[in-house]
């Protein structure tokens, strides 16, 4: 379980800082901060976007390791720590002074995460049902197709795209976990993963979610899209883990109450943290009607 916790936290840091760098690259390397396939050639010439993307890929590799040794119930909530890292990094890059209450919320986030890890532990995971993975994939593709045509200048575009991206990334994690969940040594796990359709499904969904988030980053400030994206990922991941992998918080009532309460409080504090910082960050490329 320790390896799953460590790799999850490091992955969340890479995801958070990478998201901040990717958004900066989208703003400076595309037309009016709007991401499109036509502007991709210029985007890949942006060093900040390249570094941010590389950090995201590294985070994905570590997330695979975490999912190999930990349950979705444990791994997905830990990834929410990335929001705190991203907002702090964004504030540092823009030379914004973080208010005292932001640091209090950050400390509460860390405390809530620690309580959650102790209460939940490493929930047992069973082999997923194929039908549930197919349904999860179909829902994710539907969300992507529906949001692809959402106007980038729509007032709530960053929020809606962040929400959709969070659900897609939760589905990506479920498919990835299905690919690496097998008994045996590393060679057996790799062979099993390469022969599984879920690995390639995870790659496709992960790419779709990344492209969708690029639209969100270009449509408005990071604090408008990343909070909902980060909060919805663990929520969707927990439901998918319970539905498809039969994961549970615990057998005794105190453990169940502590796990659910700590997760709810942590996500609520993350939301409050975002609202306390969003007004301080530059509103460059804010969407308008």
Give the CA radius of gyration of the chain.
Answer: 18
252's CB contacts (< 8 A; 6+ apart) are: none
- What is the DSSP-derived secondary structure letter of residue 125? -
Q: Which uninterrupted H or E stretch holds 162? A: helix 157-180
Q: Which uninterrupted H or E stretch holds 198? A: helix 197-219
Calpha distance 244→178 (Å, rounded): 10
Q: Is the pLDDT confidence value at 286 over 50?
A: no
135-151: per-residue pLDDT in tens? 999 999 999 998 877 76
Backbone phi and psi for residue 110, each to the nearest 5 degrees, phi listed first: -65, -45
The percent of the chain in helix, strand and coil, each rounded to the nearest 5, is 80, 0, 20
Calpha distance 152→288 (Å, rounded): 9
Calpha distance 124→122 (Å, rounded): 6
Do residues 287 and 216 touch, judged by C-beta distance below 8 A?
Answer: no
152-197: per-residue pLDDT in tens? 566 788 888 889 999 999 999 999 999 888 766 777 888 888 888 9
Say what the pLDDT of residue 60 is.
86
Do residues 244 and 133 touch, judged by C-beta distance below 8 A?
Answer: yes
Could you tell me what percent of the chain has a pLDDT over 70?
A: 82
Model pTM score: 0.78
Do residues 122 and 70 touch, judged by C-beta distance below 8 A?
Answer: yes
């Amino acid at each position: 379980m320790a390896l799953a916790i460590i790799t999850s936290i490091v992955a969340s840091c890479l995801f958070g800082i990478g998201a901040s760098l990717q958004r900066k690259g989208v703003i400076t390397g595309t037309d009016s901060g709007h991401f499109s396939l036509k502007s991709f050639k210029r985007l890949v010439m942006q060093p900040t976007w390249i570094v941010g993307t590389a950090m995201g890929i590294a985070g994905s590799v570590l997330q695979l390791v975490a999912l190999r040794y930990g349950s979705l119930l444990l791994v997905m909530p830990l990834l929410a720590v990335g929001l705190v890292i991203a907002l702090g990094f964004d504030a540092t890059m823009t030379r914004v002074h973080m208010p005292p209450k932001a640091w209090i919320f950050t400390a509460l986030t860390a405390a809530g995460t620690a309580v959650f890890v102790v209460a939940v532990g490493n929930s047992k995971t069973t082999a997923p049902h194929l039908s549930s993975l197919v349904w999860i994939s179909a829902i994710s593709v539907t969300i992507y197709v529906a949001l692809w045509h959402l106007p980038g200048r729509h007032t709530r575009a960053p929020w809606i795209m962040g929400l959709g991206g969070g659900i897609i990334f939760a589905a990506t994690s479920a498919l990835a976990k299905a690919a690496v969940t097998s008994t045996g040594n590393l060679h057996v796990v790799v062979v099993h993963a390469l022969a599984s359709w879920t690995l390639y499904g995870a790659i496709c969904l992960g790419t779709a979610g990344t492209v969708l988030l690029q639209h969100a980053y270009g449509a408005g400030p990071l604090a408008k899209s990343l909070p909902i994206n980060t909060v919805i990922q663990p929520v969707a991941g927990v439901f998918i883990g319970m539905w498809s992998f039969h994961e549970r918080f615990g057998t005794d009532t105190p453990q169940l109450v502590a796990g659910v309460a700590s997760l709810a409080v942590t996500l609520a504090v993350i939301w409050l943290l975002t609202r306390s910082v969003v007004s301080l960050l530059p509103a460059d490329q804010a969407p308008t009607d």
